[in-house]
Amino acid sequence: MNINQLILIVTEKINKNILLKSINIEDKTFLHKGHKTNQDGKFHLKLTIMSQELKKMNKIQSTKKIYSILDEELKKYIHSIQILII
C-alpha cells in the first residue's frame, strides 16, 4: 500500500464513523527515517480533526474511538500516529 491509498482509506473510515467538520491528514513518515524501528511500508500520519463529537469526549475516549476505527491500518500500515482534535 502506498501513502496516498492509506490516506484515502483513513479519511473514508473516519468520515463514515465520526461526525466531523473537516479532517486533514499529513504524511510525517520522514520523521522516522534512520530510526531502528523504521520499516518500509509503515507510515507516520498526523491527523487534524475538527469534530464537535470528539471535542465532547476526553482525550483518552476520543483516541480510543479513532484507534478502534483504524485498528487494521494501525496493525498493518501505520508505524506512528499523531492526533490533534480541534
What are the boundaries of each domain within the chain?
3-85
What integer pLDDT is reported at residue 42 of this predicted model? 85
Three cell numbers at 81? 500516529
Angle between helices 3-17 and 59-69 (to 10 degrees): 120
Q: Are 25 and 47 in contact (CB under 8 A)?
A: yes
Q: Which residues pair with 44 in a beta bridge?
A: 80
Pick one of 3.40.605.10, 3.30.300.90, 1.20.120.720, 3.30.465.10 as the CATH number of 3-85: 3.30.300.90
Mean pLDDT by 10 residues, the chain (86 residues): 96 97 93 60 92 97 98 95 96
pTM: 0.87
- Report the alpha-carbon distance of residue 65 to residue 54 in Å, rounded: 9
Residues making up the chain, counted from first to last: 86
Angle at 47 between CA 71 and CA 3, to 5 degrees: 70
What pLDDT score was predicted for residue 62?
A: 97
